[in-house]
Amino acid sequence: MKIRKQLKKLAVGMAASTRIHLCILGVLGFAGYSASGQTTYTDTQGDAVASTLPANGARDIWSATINNDAANFYITLNLNSGANVPTTGFNYGIGITTGNPTAGGDTSANTTTHGNAYGRAISIDSSLGGMMAWIGIFGAGGSGTAAVPYTSYGFNVYSFGTPGAVGITNGGWTKIDQVNSGQPFTATSISITVPMIDLSANLSLTPGTTLFFDIYSTGGSGNQTAYDSLANPSPTQPLPYNGTLQYNGTVLDSYTIVAVPEPTTLTLLGLSGLVAIQIIRRERRLGKCSFTSFSVGGHPKN
């Protein structure tokens, strides 16, 4: 008789333990997985340089957000609230490196070779490894004037030091990708979706890897300087303004790539959640799914 009671008690305990695990599974499955990892970067407002101050609002970078999933980087550039990007002919650039002095990036920092794929007067200091990748952001579907404003934005991606490289103003830069249009924008912001594979030629993109970068506003052609730098809280140059003065960045922001599960993993989590929710509902109707009615070991409390 005692053995039967002990077995019955053990069975009840196992059932309770199973129910509590299912309840927990339901909560986890329903919650799913969030890999937003979004990082926000801010800059000093009103620090853009120009021959006449205050500078055009589209020169003035206020903030940026960066996020990634398993396939893409999602980057949004936010400008001065007085900006009207469709009617300005400015470009924007993102310079990327590893931050390691031996990274092997473009360490040019002069008015001849510049240090980036666009030939702008912008570079990343050699102490940070030089510039290893460049994302250029440009207006499309118009001329960037009040009469013919941009209707879209595009971008291209360049990698430094890849085999067979043909530089624009200096050797070593290769165009990896070009998206001519379709990137969303407002009067004060531009968003781009950059495939991670575009940056894989000379950068490690495994989860946990930290990349160092800066975002610049610059001119639409020629040897134009950086009008503003996201990472630098100060103006990029002292007065009087020089539109072709080389800006050699020694201050960078950083972004750490977040781990994202494969879509199949997310699907399984979602399905397990749905199944477990039904079990939870049934157990609650029977009064058996209560986290307060069981001990840590899963046995009924006396």
Confirm whether 159 is domain-assigned: yes
For residue 44, pLDDT over 60 is answered with: yes
Confirm whether 302 is domain-assigned: no
Confirm whether 138 is domain-assigned: yes
The pLDDT of residue 69 is 97
Query: Are 24 and 127 in the same domain?
Result: no
The pLDDT of residue 21 is 43
Query: Are 186 and 46 in the same domain?
Result: yes
Confirm whether 72 is domain-assigned: yes
Query: Are 100 and 229 in the same domain?
Result: yes
- State the chain's mean pLDDT as an integer: 81
Confirm whether 293 is domain-assigned: no
Query: Are 152 and 10 in the same domain?
Result: no
Query: Are 165 and 208 in the same domain?
Result: yes
Query: Are 85 and 118 in the same domain?
Result: yes
CB 194 within 8 A of CB 73: yes
**Looking up tokens 């940056």, which residue turns up?**
199
Least confident piece of the model among 10-19, 129-138, 189-198, 260-269: 10-19
For residue 14, pLDDT over 80 is answered with: no
Query: Are 43 and 25 in the same domain?
Result: no
CB 119 within 8 A of CB 161: no
For residue 40, pLDDT over 60 is answered with: yes
For residue 297, pLDDT over 50 is answered with: no
pLDDT tens-digit readout, 88-112: 999 999 999 999 999 989 998 887 8
Query: Are 107 and 222 in the same domain?
Result: yes
Confirm whether 295 is domain-assigned: no
pTM: 0.76
Strand-pairing partners, residue 254, are 212
Q: What percent of the chain has pLDDT over 70?
A: 71
Query: Are 221 and 279 in the same domain?
Result: no
Quote the strand ranges of the chain, DSSP E: 39-42, 61-68, 72-79, 91-97, 122-124, 133-140, 152-160, 173-183, 189-195, 210-218, 228-229, 247-249, 253-256
Confirm whether 185 is domain-assigned: yes
Confirm whether 301 is domain-assigned: no
| Boundary of a domain, candidates 256, 271, 295 | 256
Domain of residue 272: give its range: 2-33+262-285
Query: Are 9 and 63 in the same domain?
Result: no
CA 140, 141, 146, 147 dihedral sign is: positive
* Number of compact structural domains in the chain: 2
Q: 163 versus 198: which is more confidently predicted?
A: 198
The pLDDT of residue 30 is 38
Query: Are 22 and 116 in the same domain?
Result: no
Cis peptide before 54 (omega within 30 of 0): yes
The pLDDT of residue 110 is 81
Query: Are 135 and 77 in the same domain?
Result: yes
